[in-house]
Amino acid sequence: MHDGEATIARVADLLGGLTTFKRPLTSALDAHEVILSGFPGNALVHLATNVAMIRRPESFEKATGISLRTFQRRKKEAVPKRLSQEQSGRAWKFAEIVGKATEVLGSQEEAERFLERPAIALDQRRPIDLLSTPAGVELVEDHLERMRYGVYA
């Protein structure tokens, strides 16, 4: 398994893996297809179970684009409604960033702390606060890449 496949597998696991997707995801094309069709509603349940920081309402909404109240309402449905393409894409991207931060920082606990702490390189903004736009996501990903190579400025 090369790096790309390992990253995709890690992201899929945060979203529930085989339980959620009913098949292994091994490529970016697999990820594209499941995002396009919209994740099953239980993907967010798995994400909230696997990533402690998004159990807080403001963090959940920034990470997924869905309010915690809407999520809680959906969770009670017998068959939770599928996520939209946009919601699925945001959930995937958030899980991907958690995975990258875990890789760079050594543990998921540290990754979650990183996402919630103001960062000098991000003009004292918290990475979680930037995840609501594609430009903000790119800033966080660039920051993680610089950290990976020891370039903080």
Q: Please report how many Cα atoms fall inside a 13 Å half-sphere around the Cα of residue 54, on the Cβ side.
A: 31
Dump pLDDT digits (tens) for 58-115: 888 888 888 888 888 888 887 778 999 999 999 999 999 999 999 999 999 999 999 9
**Token pair 């990258």: residue:** 100
pLDDT of residue 68: 86
Supply the DSSP symbol for 23.
S
For 11, the 3-state DSSP assignment is helix
pLDDT at 1 over 70: no
131 and 94 in contact (C-beta within 8 Å)?
Answer: yes
CA distances from 29 to 34, 35, 86, 95 (A): 9, 10, 17, 17
**Domain boundary assignment for the chain:** 3-148
